[in-house]
Chains A and B, each alone.
Chain A
Amino acid sequence: MPVFAIAAAGAVTILAVVLIVLALVFYLVSTILQLRTITAGLDEVIAGVGEIVEKSAPVNGVVTSINEQLDAGVDLLEGLLVKKAGLEDAVGLVDGLYPGAAEAGLRNFPDSTTVTAPRISEVYTRGTLTLARLGREAPIAMANPAAGPVLRNATGGSSAAGELYPGGRQSGPSNLPRSPAIGADAPDQYEQRDDIGAPRKRHPGR
């Protein structure tokens, strides 16, 4: 009897250990497989990130170069505008084209933020004020005697445009349809409205 009891207890112990080992093997092998999948996925991630790093490496230098070029262009145009139109009118022109830009002022002219921008765009269209500020050849420049005498004959200047068409003005095709005949003896008579010729209706006074 004691021998059977010892054998039974030993068998149960062995069974328990085997169960524990089986559980360890199953779950650890499953975990290893999942970790292998993760490793493969991370390899793809690393490859993609490496491509991103490689492709974006020259972006910083190129964008910096582009910004430097654009800064030079802005400096040039601002300087030219202020030189030709004056600081006050330059701020007015910029504010006319981009409302609200006068508050920010011109980048290379710190005094431009204190200038009261003239409301140029409220009086003239953009094209007109551009012509007015760019030269004395525009007829509108006559309104600004401070800029000097105008160079263009504003009254007789239209003949200059005619020189562009030495062959004469185009008359169009010769066989155009005739205009419809109207009047009391017209071939097509329409019903006359009763209100034509009658006293005009007057609305009650407000």
Chain B
Amino acid sequence: MILWWIGNAVLLLVILPVVVILLRGVLGATTSIVPSVRKLANVAASGSQDLDAAALLLTTEQQVKQTVAGVANYGGSLDVILDDDR
């Protein structure tokens, strides 16, 4: 009978507080992750929006090609009309 009461005391005074402390730690760690995940989601959405202008690179590529082609034509004309260095 005495051992039973000792067991009850251990259950109430040791095991129950240890279980509560451990579970509170797990819940606290889990709760602290939520704001970080929300920030990550916002950053990912913002990064995706920032890359909307990446499609304009195709236009830039075409314009660069046209510009270089114009420069090449201009350089070819200069090469014809100007004397070379002696």
Of A23, A45, A72, A84, which contacts B83 at CB under 8 A?
A84
A86–B82 CA distance with the chains assembled, in angstroms: 13
A148–B84 CA distance with the chains assembled, in angstroms: 11
Asked if A55 CB lies within 8 Å of chain B CBs, one says yes
Interface secondary structure of A, over-half rule: helix
| A48 and B48 contact, CB distance less than 8 A | yes
A147–B86 CA distance with the chains assembled, in angstroms: 8
A165–B16 CA distance with the chains assembled, in angstroms: 105
In the complex, what's the smallest C-beta–C-beta distance from B20 to chain A, in angstroms?
5
Interface secondary structure of B, over-half rule: helix
A28–B30 CA distance with the chains assembled, in angstroms: 11
| B16 and A31 contact, CB distance less than 8 A | no
| A63 and B57 contact, CB distance less than 8 A | yes
Asked if A69 CB lies within 8 Å of chain B CBs, one says yes
In the complex, what's the smallest C-beta–C-beta distance from A109 to chain B, in angstroms?
13
Nearest A-chain residue to B59, judged by Cβ: A62
Of A17, A52, A58, which contacts B47 at CB under 8 A?
A52
Given contacts A16-B12, A55-B54, A59-B54, contact A9 B30 (CB under 8 A): no
- Listed in ascending order, the chain A residues whose CB lies under 8 Å from chain B are 2, 5-6, 9, 12-13, 15-17, 19-20, 23-24, 26-28, 30-31, 34-35, 37-38, 41-42, 44-45, 47-49, 51-52, 55-56, 58-59, 62-63, 65-66, 69-70, 72-73, 76-77, 80, 82-86, 89, 134-136, 146-148
Known: A52-B48, A73-B72. 7 other contacts (CB 8 A): A6-B1, A9-B5, A13-B11, A27-B24, A27-B27, A37-B37, A42-B37
